[in-house]
């Protein structure tokens, strides 16, 4: 009896981690981007590009790892566009981000038509067979691929990078004030490019993970606003990579719970249930916003996004 409970818990955790991985990656990317003082609404488009081109490459070359790489590059290329617009040409970041988002949606709708119905092999689970069949670890090892551990490790690495290295110190300084950074002899634009492109890579990868590893299909607009959710959740995670994991997991948990409830044939409209994670997300946002020091963690440079200069 006990063993079955453990297995159940394990499979619940595994499912949450699996469903949270894309969000974790894109949330981490957006966190790093905002840390250098740039808001990138284009992540939605970047994720779609990653999902679409990554899936395409994986299907055509029968190589899921190559697909992940191509997906990450697709995200990078779109973030490059955002960078040219808002870092080099000083276009308003919101406008430029929306533009990248629309571009990503449009291109993937067009190109993606040929991939609808295609098949990819997906990644192998961490362990195919597991000796002691019934334990907490069994579902983790059989249901998870190396993506989930990678995402977890990446958040930790990014946290250490941000808070314990000179590079991270430079990023945070630029995110607080480009003027001060310039006076200190840093090159703010260069640093912003670093943060933005890292975010681009991660969001593209997140999209590819979604299509290649999680759903193993391509569907038009399959991210369903996950990128934009990430932009909102950055606030909940207080611009802190170390909080990306718990925040993404909470969301993943809400998401999988919905699937389980559906599976358990709860008598509610599936559309309503599908909206639940977003309601949950709104709830967290309101709760965090009610706290007294809500602005204390926000990079000050982000406030300039709304001053046109």
Partner 1 sequence: MSAAPRFSLQNINKRFGEVNANSNVNLDIYPNEVIALLGENGAGKSTLMKLLYGFYTPDAGEIVVEGEPLVAHSPKQSLRLGIGMLFQQFNLVPALSVLENLLLAFPAAPWWQWRRRRLTTDVLACLQRIAPDIDPQRLVRDLSVGEQQVVELAKIMALNAQLVILDEPTAVLTPQEVERLYQFVAQCRADGKVVVFITHKLADVRACATRIVVMRQGRIVGDWRTETVTDNELIQAMVGKDTGLIVNRIAPPKHLLPKLMVKRLNVSSRVGTITAMDFEVSPGEVLGIAGVMGNGQRALAMVLAGILVPDSGEVILDGVSINALAHETIKVPDNVAYIPESPLTNAVVAQLDLATNLQLRALDALPFLQWGMPALHEAQHKLAAHDVRPSDPHLSAGALSGGNLQKLVIARELSRPVQLVIACYPTMGLDLIATRNVYERLFAQAEQGACIIWFSEELDDLLRYAHRIMVLHGGRVQSIGPVASFDRQRIGRLMTGHAQAC
Quick one: 5 or 165, whose CB is closer to partner 1?
A: 165
Tokens at residue 243, please?
């909080």
Residues 269-308 that bind partner 1 (CB under 8 A): 299-300, 307
Q: Do the Cβ atoms of 236 and 244 come closer than 8 Å?
A: no
Q: Is 184 in the site for partner 1 (CB under 8 A)?
A: yes
Q: Do the Cβ atoms of 62 and 283 come closer than 8 Å?
A: no
What Å distances lie between residue 166 and 78, 160, 161, 295, CA to CA? 28, 11, 8, 25
Q: Is 190 in the site for partner 1 (CB under 8 A)?
A: no
Q: Which range, of 7-15, 50-58, 149-157, 182-190, touches partner 1 by CB under 8 A? A: 182-190
> Total residues at the site for partner 1 (CB under 8 A)?
19
Q: Which range, of 39-47, 114-122, 162-170, 275-283, touches partner 1 by CB under 8 A? A: 162-170
Among 89, 183, 263, 265, binds partner 1 (CB under 8 A): 183
Q: Which range, of 127-135, 148-156, 166-174, 224-232, touches partner 1 by CB under 8 A? A: 166-174
Among 166, 269, 271, 290, binds partner 1 (CB under 8 A): 166
Among 88, 109, 121, 167, binds partner 1 (CB under 8 A): 167
Q: Which residue has the tokens 């790892």?
A: 65
Among 124, 169, 275, 279, binds partner 1 (CB under 8 A): 169
Cβ neighbours, 10 Å, residue 225: 13
Quick one: 131 or 183, whose CB is closer to partner 1?
A: 183
Q: Please choose, from the candidates 237, 241, 222, 226, the residue with its C-alpha nearest in 3D space to the C-alpha of residue 278.
A: 226
Among 62, 90, 113, 164, binds partner 1 (CB under 8 A): 164
Residue 233's Cβ-count burial label (10 Å; 0-12, 13-18, 19+) is: buried
Q: Which range, of 25-33, 45-53, 55-63, 179-187, touches partner 1 by CB under 8 A? A: 179-187
Reported for 240-245, long-range contacts at CB under 8 A and 24+ positions apart, including other chains, are 240/31, 240/159, 240/297, 241/28, 241/31, 241/32, 241/155, 241/156, 241/158, 241/159, 241/162, 242/155, 242/156, 242/159, 244/24, 244/27, 244/28, 244/31, 244/155, 244/158, 245/24, 245/152, 245/155
Among 172, 234, 248, 250, binds partner 1 (CB under 8 A): 172
Residue 247's Cβ-count burial label (10 Å; 0-12, 13-18, 19+) is: buried
Instruction: Give min distance, CB of 309 to partner 1, in A.
Output: 10
Among 88, 165, 262, 268, binds partner 1 (CB under 8 A): 165
Give the binding site for partner 1 (CB under 8 A): 160, 164-167, 169-170, 172-173, 176-177, 180, 182-185, 299-300, 307
């Amino acid at each position: 009896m006990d063993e079955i409970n453990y297995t159940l818990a394990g499979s619940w955790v595994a499912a949450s981690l699996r469903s949270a991985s894309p969000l974790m990656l894109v949330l981490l990317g957006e966190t790093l981007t905002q840390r250098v003082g740039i808001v990138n609404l284009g992540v939605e488009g970047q994720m779609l590009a990653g999902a679409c081109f990554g899936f395409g490459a994986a299907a055509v070359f029968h190589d899921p790892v190559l697909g992940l790489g191509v997906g990450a590059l697709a995200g990078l290329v779109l973030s490059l566009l955002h960078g040219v617009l808002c870092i080099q040409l000083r276009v308003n970041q919101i406008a430029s981000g929306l533009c990248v988002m629309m571009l990503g949606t449009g291109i993937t709708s067009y190109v993606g038509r040929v991939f609808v119905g295609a098949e990819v092999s997906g990644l192998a689970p961490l362990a195919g067979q597991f000796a002691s069949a019934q334990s907490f670890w069994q579902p983790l090892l059989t249901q998870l691929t190396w993506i989930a551990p990678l995402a977890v490790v990446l958040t930790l690495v990014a946290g250490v990078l941000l808070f314990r290295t000179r590079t991270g110190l430079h990023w945070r300084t630029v995110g607080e004030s480009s003027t001060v950074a310039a006076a200190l002899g840093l090159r703010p634009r260069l640093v912003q490019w670093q943060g933005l492109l890292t975010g681009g890579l991660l969001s593209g990868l997140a999209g590819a993970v979604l299509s290649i590893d999680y759903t193993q299909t391509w569907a038009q607009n399959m991210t369903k606003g996950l990128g934009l959710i990430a932009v909102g959740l950055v606030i909940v995670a207080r611009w802190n990579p170390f909080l990306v994991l718990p925040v993404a997991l909470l969301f993943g948990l809400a998401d999988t719970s919905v699937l389980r409830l559906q599976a358990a044939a709860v008598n509610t409209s599936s559309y309503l249930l599908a909206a639940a994670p977003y309601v949950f997300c709104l709830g967290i946002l309101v709760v965090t916003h009610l706290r007294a020091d809500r602005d204390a963690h926000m990079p000050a440079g982000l406030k300039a996004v709304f001053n046109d200069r």
